Amino acid sequence: MKQNLGHFPKESNVCNCTNIRRASRALTQFYDECLSPSGLTVTRMGMLHQIMELKHPGISELAAAFRIDRTTMNRNLKALLADGLVILRAGQDARKKEVQLTELGTAKLQQAYGLWCQAQQDLEDYLGREELQQLRGSLAKLEALVP
């Protein structure tokens, strides 16, 4: 029975999950490359941007915005803390730690923003406006697969 596997698909690119993971790695590398003059990666810039938008989010609140685990956000924040891009302040609720941008974090975000805009534009030029919109719609549906 060991070699009775002839019904497995022959091509390697059939798994939708493998494909999106591969594309995700590629796009991450593309964006990181575009942002590299700022010293930020796309995950770090994304975190800084969310912190700015949400004003003084708690760690869990910030994690929810990215749909990542709370403990992942906790650890990702440590690098931003170490680099002086954010600070943590105790909220009125003594359990909560509010995340805030420092001046340096704000400056870095601003610096990265222009590069990010170009990356977004480059991607739109590459895929075409139509196809990019379609892709974004499909990605949103995939996100909804998890509660």
Contacts to a copy of itself by CB under 8 A: 2-5, 8, 10, 12-31, 42-43, 46, 49-50, 52-53, 65-68, 103, 106-107, 109-110, 113, 116, 119-120, 123, 126-127, 131-132, 134-136, 138-146
Q: Supply angle C-alpha 102, 87, 79, rounded to 5.
A: 100
CB of 99 to a copy of itself, least distance (A): 15
The nearer residue to DNA, 36 or 133, going by C-beta atoms, is 36
Return the residue matching tokens 């302040």. 89
Q: Return all residues near 83 (Cβ < 8 A) that are at least 6 apart.
A: 104
Alpha-carbon distance of 28 to 138, in angstroms, equals 18
**From the list a copy of itself, DNA, none, partner contacted by residue 74 (C-beta under 5 to 8 A by kind):** DNA
The nearer residue to a copy of itself, 8 or 92, going by C-beta atoms, is 8
**Does residue 136 sit in helix, strand or coil?**
helix
Q: Which two tokens stand for residue 51?
A: 């912190």
